[in-house]
Amino acid sequence: MTDAARQRIDKWLFFTRVVKSRSLAAKIVQAGKVRLNREKIDQAAHNVKPGDVLTVTLDRRILVLKVVAPGTRRGPAEEARTLYEDLSSPLEAKLPAEVPTAERDPGTGRPTKRERRAIDRFEGRD
């Protein structure tokens, strides 16, 4: 396979509009939130080629994308969709729309130390 059919993973994620910027794509890869063919990668310079399967963990969803072609530019969304095939299951795409949060009555001021500890326990930050 020629080098023209390969592309850096951070550029490819940026061109496919998975992330907003190339530097953000590099940070996601370096944080270990991207798997290439089921193997964790931590270098943004890693090359992807057509046929590779990427698993990308974002804030509220997990994307499973099959690389169809390398990108040449960050074009419109229709052009970006031609670069990959979405293998994500519909169940993975649906996450709870609203997460329960600790609420306080308006005008009660800042929480006391005891209340803050209760909030931390509620949110799982023990």
Indicate whether 44 pLDDT > 60: yes
CA dist 22 to 2, 27, 38, Å? Answer: 24, 9, 22
Structure tokens at 71: 């990108």
Phi, psi (degrees; rounded to nearest 5) at 124: 80, 25
Res 8: pLDDT: 93
Q: How many residues are present in the chain?
A: 126
pLDDT tier, 111 (very low <50, low <70, confident <90, very high otherwise): confident
CB-CB contact of 24 with 80 (8 Å): no
Q: Is the pLDDT of residue 95 over 70?
A: no
Provide the 3-class DSSP secondary structure of residue 47: strand
**CB contact at 8 A, 36 and 45:** no
Closest Cα to residue 37, out of 22, 23, 52, 48? 52
Residue 113, pLDDT > 80, answer: yes
3-state class (DSSP) for residue 34: strand
Is the CATH number 3.10.290.10 carried by domain 3-93? yes
**Residue 105, φ and ψ in degrees, nearest 5:** -70, 140
Q: Is the pTM here over 0.85, yes or no?
A: no
- Residue 60 clears pLDDT 90, i.e. is over it: no
